[in-house]
Structure 1
Amino acid sequence: MPTQRDLEALAERAGNLLLARGDWLATAESCTGGWIAQAVTAIAGSSAWFDRGFVTYSNAAKEEMLGVPHQTLISTGAVSEATARAMAEGAIAKSRAQWAVAVSGIAGPSGGSAEKPVGTVCFAWAGPDGVEAVTRHFPGDREAVRAATAALALSHLITRLEGATGSA
């Protein structure tokens, strides 16, 4: 399980890449409850590249704060790539960020189903190069799922930033 120190190292690396580009990051979090934003804001100087974080735990918050379409939540559920995608797009639309990461999942210990078991997390990363969404399944208890989610969210953001060219 990634430690807080691991998450902060990833956040610092992402921050250096964002700062070099002159770009901003926003987060849209559900199952992590702001853990990604917490790792980011643990980095001194993150105010130069982190614009804001949205903790949208309820469906109403996803709709009101990020503009996730009600029909998306009804048809695909809160834990879906479509919802994560809409969350990431909404985070960019409602901020000055060029980059966003969004997560929505089932951290447990309850709330899972046969179709979406505990440990299911949907991610989306939005940036000048488009939006990408994936679903992953993590083992372990609630803390392990949430920590693994924050780590993957940040590490794939780094991959996207390293692959991006030029400034936004």
Structure 2
Amino acid sequence: MARYLSEFRLYVCNQWISRIPSHRIRLWYYRRVMKFTIGPKSYILMGCSFDCAGGLSMGRGSVINPNCRIDTRGSVTIGNNVSISNEVIILTADHDMNSPTMAGREKAVTLEDYVWIGTRAMILPGVTLREAAVAAAGSVVTKSTAPYSVVAGIPAQEIKKRSSEQAYTYDASYKRLFQ
């Protein structure tokens, strides 16, 4: 019975709650029912889907834009002032191709403070994007980055560095009406 309730909670989250054009209702459900930790002034916009309850922690001033898939099975930790653009996919679980039973495995993903992920980028299990790193639109990030690095491509490789001399102070929190 517990499994059915868990699956129903996830179905309601991904099919109904994520489509409600009210931040307050969505955040209430994500915090209270899905057991996500979401800091002040952080938002999850419409159309995002998740793979299980728990496993998501967001700092303050961060945003997950519309239509992202966040695989919370292996846990996702999002720092402060992180911007995740539309249709980003963050995976924390896969299968071991060398296992005779194709055993599943989970690896946490961490996005440190001031990270920016471009539209339709994909972050694979076990990756850490270090402070102020940028993953360009359409990138497939297969390994962890250095702080202030800009990565792009398939697989993503460092193409340049952001200035580490400047103090990044932007606030990624914004909530659009009906989003």
* TM bucket, shorter chain: under 0.3
Q: Hey, which of these two has a bigger chunk of helix by percent?
A: 1
> RCO higher in 1 or 2 (8 Å CA, sep ≥ 6)?
1
Q: Hey, which of these two has a bigger chunk of strand by percent?
A: 2
TM-score by length of 1: 0.25
TM-score by length of 2: 0.24
